[in-house]
Amino acid sequence: MTAPGDNPIVLELREVTCSYDTGSPAVMGITFSARKGEIICLLGPSGCGKTTTLRAIAGFEPVASGEIRLNSNVVSTTGRHVSPEQRRVGMVFQDYALFPHLTVRDNVGFGLASATADDRRGRVDEMLSLTGLTEFAGRYPHALSGGQQQRAALARALAPQPVLLLLDEPFSNLDPDTTERMRVELLHLLKSTETTAVLVTHDHEEAFAMADYVAVLNNGKLEQFTTPETTYHLPVSRFVAEFVGQADFIPGTVRDSVVVTQLGTFPVPPDYLGTPEVVVMIRPDDVHIRENKDGDGTVISRQFRGSEIIYGIRLGSGDFVHSSEASTRFFALDSKVELEVIATHTVLFDRKA
């Protein structure tokens, strides 16, 4: 999925800080970059600074410090601010912001004013065909479904061949079935056109499904910037661990090169060899249940999810963990079980931090 690592860097943020008049900065010291053809997802809870970051890239917000580069040119820094029109960045807004009085064809052609009439018609036809809207070209936005409106917004944003496409929570107005379909369509469209994109979402499943790299934001700061797999398996903080999926934490004690816990011993990553009191992150997919009436665990909850069942288990110590089991594996509530933890990575955090 990842675009070749030797593709040129299209977007670069260096220590970007943005402030509104109202007080502490909305985003602080954000640094990441995107190569041509890559999809970056900005992921985090409401208010963490995703939209502000996107607007700064688009040129709608100035930076208080740091700099933003597009194709190696500085477009934002203190004392220099290239206007949004000059950045050649496409934007798909949360509500699509289609022009209600223009047909789909005219919406898509809107950004092509400087092209000749022939070029413009050709490009619009190409975009309509690419997004499956050819037969809807003469319709007005109000006569389109949510998914079709989104396609029209995408076609409009991509028509002028932007160097970068920005999407702010593009699926938030669609029902779950349409969202699922549009994610697949969007991914295909972006990859087949080698479009570099930054997509904002608060949904980790969406970020994992779409992104080459995920930027997790918390309270205006970038906590981690890496692949979806590494974000999930090797989160750098408890915040990231919990934001991208179910995570439980059990106490452990580091002795020599292992960490000893109530669920067994695990190898210790080098950075934690000097930290005696830790917590170990346990993901439901690492925990396997075996029936055992003398077991240390008690099944206290069961959540059927179709393809899996998530069991909640209370350990003898009072700590809790979750286990993901195949949906055919049935354990009754209150039954005693023993647990086996098989984790490919041990993730530790300082217990005192």
Q: Which is nearer to ligand ADP, 134 or 172 (CB)?
A: 172
CB of 109 within 8 A of CB of 115? no
Select the binding partner of residue 48 from Mg ion, ligand ADP, none (C-beta < 5 to 8 A, by kind). Answer: ligand ADP
Which of 61/212 has CB closer to ligand ADP? 61
Residue placing its CB nearer to Mg ion in the complex, 51 or 346: 51
Residue type at 217 in one-letter notation: L
Give whichever of 26 and 339 is closer to ligand ADP, judged by the CB atom.
26
Considering the complex, state which of residue 44 and residue 160 has its C-beta at the smaller distance from Mg ion: 44
What's the min distance (Å) between Cβ of 63 and ligand ADP? 14
Using CB under 5 A as the binding rule, the residues of this chain from 23 to 52 that contact Mg ion are 51
Q: At what angle do helices 146-158 and 176-192 cross, to 10 degrees?
A: 20
Compute CA distances 33 → 13, 17, 166, whole Å.
6, 15, 14
**CB under 5 to 8 A by kind: which of ligand ADP, Mg ion, none does 269 bind?**
none
Provide the mask over 226-265, with x wherever binding to Mg ion is found by CB under 5 A and - wherever it is not: ----------------------------------------
At closest approach, how far in Å is the CB of 93 from Mg ion? 11
**287-291 β-sheet, strand order:** 287-291, 336-341, 297-304, 308-314, 320-326
Fill in the per-residue mask, 46 to 85: x = in contact with Mg ion (CB under 5 A), - = not in contact: -----x----------------------------------
* Closest CB to Mg ion: residue number: 51
| CB of 341 vs ligand ADP, minimal distance in Å | 34
At its nearest, how many Å lie between ligand ADP and the CB of residue 47? 4
Write down the least CB distance from residue 29 to Mg ion, Å.
19
Rounded CA gap, 24 and 121, in Å?
Answer: 48
| Distance of closest approach, residue 103 Cβ to Mg ion, in angstroms | 29
User: For the residues of 104-158, what is the DSSP string, one character each?
Assistant: HHHHHTGGGTTS-HHHHHHHHHHHHHHTT-GGGTT--GGGS-HHHHHHHHHHHHH
Q: How many CB atoms lie within 10 A of CB 267?
A: 10
Closest distance of CB 211 from ligand ADP, Å:
16
Instruction: Name the token pair of 160.
Output: 């002028």
CA angle 20, 171, 102 (to 5 degrees): 85
Could you tell me which residues come within 8 angstroms of residue 53 by beta carbon, excluding any fewer than 6 positions away? 13, 16, 18, 27, 30, 42, 200, 217
Binding-site partner at residue 19 among ligand ADP, Mg ion, none, CB < 5 to 8 Å by type: none
Nearest CA to 128 out of 146, 106, 99, 108 is that of: 108
Per-residue burial over 68-90, b if 16 or more Cβ lie within 10 Å, else e, is bbbbeeebbbeeeebeeeebbbb
**Closest separation in Å from C-beta 137 to ligand ADP:** 33
The option from ligand ADP, Mg ion, none interacting with 20 (CB < 5 to 8 A, set by class) reads ligand ADP
- Give the nearer residue to ligand ADP in terms of CB position, either 25 or 132: 25
Query: Which residues are at the interface with ligand ADP (CB under 6 A)?
Result: 20, 22, 26, 44, 46-52
Radius of gyration over every alpha carbon of the chain, rounded to an integer in angstroms: 24
- Residue 267 contact, options ligand ADP, Mg ion, none, Cβ 5-8 Å cut-off depending on partner type: none
Go through 326-336 and write b for each residue having 16 or more CB atoms within 10 A of its CB, e for each that does not: eeeeebeeeee
Interface residues toward Mg ion, by CB under 5 A: 51
